[in-house]
Structure 1
């Protein structure tokens, strides 16, 4: 159902590109049509994967770029490069469990393949810039979610779908990214949502936050996952809504990073560095 809705949306809109300037930053959100099957097949071959998501928006992108040339962007191809193209015992075991629960399905035998058929990715964005790049390091500092709950005027908002697959009509695997820009900050959420009917629900979230005037961003990556059997007290209709079901999933991992912005250096006549 989700995929069919996306398919309708993709055929119903024209390619679009929005730019929004925020201080020294420019946010770009580009949305295009689903990649053609021949292009998907060629890309799958290049990536050494037997299959790619049935709806792959290879030209969709959300980019945050500084006037000095560096930045971070989010795109489907780089996200899929983070998908394992080797057999993984945990994931394959899950697939076998799913296959047994769907033994009557004509497609169920197609699911077991030597790659991660769920397209699970731990992608957190692609750093951009040639001479200058953002420096990433671990940090104990956390994004102040309470501050983000405060009512502040949203100057710009957009959401970009990167890929989606219905897993032979027995679930969904989807990656999307959205951003909102306020007068004093911007906040981005990229979410990978996986639901394998009767087996499990998994959510990988990447949150990116930057306050105007600060020389760094904060990035938090979390993995939440629960087997369906562990969600007996959760109303089944919530299984299809990642925003609702996320709170019921078990937190498996959290990683916090500081993305330090590079300092543009210039030299005086006597070769002294000015920052």
Structure 2
């Protein structure tokens, strides 16, 4: 079970910040403490979010940020991810019907909440686009172009890697919901994978993936989002806790592919 420090017992320490430059790009990751029960950060979350409850562990300062020298970029953070959680309805009830009712009957996490909401904290967050100055442009358009998986499989040295946790919840011992984002930089490209892994015991497993890929020398990134889901009864038990292994048993329920074009920085911009 995840260990959650009591309010007021969180020891503040300097955040762990890493930076790496890849051509015209600057990568920044930050890892810090969990969200406290009071204070300015908590007020910010309460003011922006309509959720009656937050995940047990939220990391308000944790972020992965990738910014082009033009000022355009993308970042991944917990606040914007949670802003897309359904705060007014419980879609798991619709998706799982009778199985959901039985599995949820003894869940104190839900009994204590009057207003219905997505207690699995499922989000279709794909990242937050950045525009650091008036010359920064990031144009988003649908595309049929796909990420070059063969390029990712090549044996290249990894110049930079990090794994940043955004939030986690054990659904009152009824499963788990965890969202993290990883970045990997090789000589020819960089690759980002943000994953929401949600398991409701005896009901369903869901994986939402956002992949961002950029090849060196190009003036755009590719962003792919996919959502997969399946009842746990149709998945071998041994795979239930392994996001990589379980993915092959899940049905695709949603997918999008986008091209993110950015403006090159010029002397007369």
TM above 0.5: yes
1:100-111 paired onto structure 2 within 5 Å: 100-104=102-106, 106-107=108-109, 109-110=111-112
Quote the residue 2:259 is aligned against.
Answer: 258
Flag structure 1 segments of 5+ consecutive residues without an equivalent: 268-274
Are positions 1:18 and 2:56 aligned together? no
* 1:99-130 superposed Cα distances (whole Å, 9 cap, x missing partner): 42353455553467421111111111111113
Report if aligned partners of 2:93, 2:101 keep a CA contact under 8 Å in 1. no
Alignment partners' CA distance in 1, 2:86 and 2:56:
17
Q: CA deviation at 1:69?
A: 1.5
1:153-164 paired onto structure 2 within 5 Å: 153-164=157-168
What secondary structure does 1:79 align onto? helix
- More displaced, 198-207 or 102-111? 102-111
1:172-183 paired onto structure 2 within 5 Å: 172-183=176-187
Alignment partners' CA distance in 2, 1:106 and 1:125:
32
Alignment partners' CA distance in 2, 1:159 and 1:252:
26
1:237-252 paired onto structure 2 within 5 Å: 237-252=238-253
- More displaced, 63-72 or 176-185? 63-72
Q: CA deviation at 1:196?
A: 0.3
1:1-275 paired onto structure 2 within 5 Å: 1=1, 3-4=2-3, 15-39=15-39, 42=43, 43-88=45-90, 90-94=91-95, 97-104=99-106, 106-107=108-109, 109-110=111-112, 113-129=115-131, 130-131=133-134, 132-231=136-235, 234=236, 236-264=237-265, 266-267=267-268
Flag structure 2 segments of 5+ consecutive residues without an equivalent: none
Q: Which runs of 4+ in 1 moved over 6 A?
A: 10-13
Rg larger for: 1
Report if aligned partners of 2:228, 2:247 keep a CA contact under 8 Å in 1. yes
Residues matched between the structures, number? 260
Alignment partners' CA distance in 1, 2:196 and 2:31:
18
Q: CA deviation at 1:229?
A: 2.1
Alignment partners' CA distance in 2, 1:58 and 1:245:
29
